Structure 1
């Protein structure tokens, strides 16, 4: 009682002034529902039908008010999980030309955008010689990996709550904080490991080796991975993982530049560096997989 009230025209409302909000319509005078009423029913069904602990709505920040009201209403209706409802409020994506608006026809079709990204990735990769010697099948697979990886990474590396301008050309760059840069580094590591295997190099006991500065920095970064994933989960921020992987890749490239691997004559030192390379590749692959991005074995 007192949670809702009916007006003379038969419409049903909730008084939210006590929560610093306004009066919210729940049923129209003809008995038809509104979005809010439907969301209340859907939330109840989700908790009934699935063994979930928490419900996270991933919806743009223009819906902040709607989900604030939904949480209050679910709580009032006696659903113990109402207050725990999470609206993961993300920012808007804009194009270099301005906002995407359906009324003005500037909305981009996702399929068209993805197709464009893949064809751009193909031409950029070909220009840079990264597709040399590959079959048509391999070329198509890598172009798709790079194009979609560039798109996903560009969107996910930014704090999800911020508005961003998506620039397709900027995103497909084999240098800097981009998906293709990370993918290329992964392919480079896999190439080193393949060559080591072809030359019969075994990873031997390297426990007596004292790691150098570059190696220690890389070991410390690899050890941070589990805590970064945990923090990303707690804060609902894939950007933490994206930027961690980028930082790891930069550290590996410095290590690769300064430390000989395949030409190292001390087998124990070489084994340590091969092990570090292998672990770095595993973490890059794992981090990118969490972002929904695949990495190529060769490029």
Structure 2
């Protein structure tokens, strides 16, 4: 039994003994003691006052006296209003460190039997990945790794939007103006090449609209009547009809895009267990609609279109099938959700999608619940906010959206510039330097985007994120490298324990308590689908180590072997947690910097 559970049990016992009342364990509220007060564990006394019928201060004092008398580990207490601050013997914390925290499997959470899917990335195959996709991919990957670390069996999937009018726009523009250009002949990534033709289509389409407006058509009329959009619509119909020539071009250009995406995914350090393609799923959902009609969940209007009325649930009426029998987005999503469930028999399914789709997912999940899908309770929309850049910091090729490859290149270049300015890589080979700059640049990018709660919109400044001080990825990376250097110099052995009577400084005690929280931090972050809480915990660990490192005399020169081993053990565990925690976030920590 850990000390917290022991205190809970003894508090319930104390209330029974002192006041002849039964206090439910769930009402025993323990907190970390605030740094300005003595003690490590604080009992919030207010829930007990109704049983004691005494003031919070008197109740806290009586409970403190009982706990000190009946819990061997408690060496003292102090009362601050309705808060009972308990001091726990140093020997307990050293024992905890020796028996639990120093174990090689510390932080490993047993399998919980849950099967969870995380769907993320979901790109369109008509343009490169951009800054918004970067946050999506990093969030999806890290949430997947968090859930794995907390004991779930996780499937990472990518639903690729590889069909539709937007895809045909790129294809048509390439046919008209491409002159047979390929990624190889152009010397650029395939996704950028296809994106180039999507931009060309848009420019030429706007010219046609202006020309038609000059002839007297309204804006709306011109948009509908422009020859380019009509040709793109005809191409989409030909694609849906299985036209060999159109399908062949579609496959060729999509292959270019996938090859380009693969490079970006590799640089971002994300991966997938399965790809779903909209070209295979866009007809799904019609069976689900029939099912809903038969059960009375959906209704058919006179024109033959199928709807669901969600006004009683505070939403609106929603079209689920057009009058001509063709699908809308929600139809496809209903079918895809069922297909995923059939494929994997999931306990939970998480959709990592921007907050502009909040309403869509409320509707989707509610419809699935009304259709009686028992698994619908396990669906969750991990909604996230947009990422902004300071004006003028970076420009994309088209001057509008910052693409992922440009951002990655800028991060690595900035990391190189800042690292070389510190002058600490003279002894590195060129290959080691390049890998280091990449790890620092990507670590800065990932940490900056992940340390903020997903729902929040954030302002990302590439230069600000690459700082070797403060709440940044490079600070954590540098701390890890510093510890590895220390352990190397000290010829550290990881199988040495220290006597539990060894004296602890206030910072050493604080470190042990902070390090002990690692498994709980993983579990908490996984439960809330928020890498931000883990990221900020890792930063606190790095910050605490630096405080400890500057407070104690040089560890390598310490003559007291027990004290030296304790401090090396603390350093070793810190490095392990930094490495393990950042790996969950997708960040590499160098062995040396």
TM range (shorter): over 0.9
Q: Corresponding residue for 1:121?
A: 415
Question: 1:123-156, CA deviations, whole angstroms, 9 ceiling, x for partnerless residues?
Answer: 1111112322111111011111100000000000
Take 1:169 and 1:27, find their aligned partners in 2: how far apart are those partners? 49
Structure 1 position 298 matched with structure 2 position 592? yes
1:28-47 pair list within 5 angstroms: 28-47=322-341
- Which residues of structure 1 form unaligned runs of 5+? none
Aligned ranges for residues 108-187 of structure 1 at < 5 Å? 108-187=402-481
Superposed displacement of residue 6, structure 1: 1.6
> Using a 3 Å threshold, how does the CA distance of structure 1 residues 201 and 65 change in structure 2: closer, same or farther?
closer
Cα distance change on mapping 1:289 and 1:91 into 2, 3 Å = same
Q: Alignment partner for residue 238 of structure 1, among 531, 546, 569? A: 531
Quote the offset at 1:23 in angstroms. Answer: 0.9
TM-superposed deviation, 1:183: 0.2
Return the TM-score normalized by structure 1. Answer: 0.94
- CA deviation map 1:42-70 (0-9, x unaligned): 10011110132011111111111000000
Aligned residues: 296
* Distance (whole Å) between structure 1 residues aligned to residue 592 and residue 363 of structure 2: 51
Over 3 Å counting, the alpha-carbon distance change for 1:196 and 1:27 in structure 2 is: same
> TM-score by structure 2 length?
0.48
Structure 2: 5+ residue stretches without partners = 1-294
Max Rg structure: 2
- Corresponding residue number in structure 1 for 2:582: 288
Displacement of 1:83 in angstroms is: 3.2
Q: Runs of 4 or more off by more than 4 Å in structure 1?
A: 200-204
> Partners of 1:5 and 1:230 in 2: how far apart?
43
Secondary structure at the aligned position of 1:292 is classed as coil
Q: Deviations over 1:248-280 (max 9, x none)?
A: 111100100011211111111000000100000
Note the C-alpha offset of 1:203. Answer: 4.4
Instruction: Give the Cα separation in 1 of the matches to 2:486 and 2:302.
Output: 77
Once the two structures are overlaid, the 10-residue window that deviates more, 80-89 or 57-66, is 80-89
CA deviations on 1:96-132 (whole Å, 9 max, x unpaired) are: 129x9x9x84211112111111111111111112322
Residue pair 1:206, 1:271 contacting (<8 A) in 2 also: no
Aligned partners of 1:19 and 1:47: how far apart in 2? Answer: 25
**Pick from 482, 495, 503: which aligns with 1:210?**
503
**Pair 1:71 & 2:372 matched:** no
- Report how far residue 201 of structure 1 moved: 11
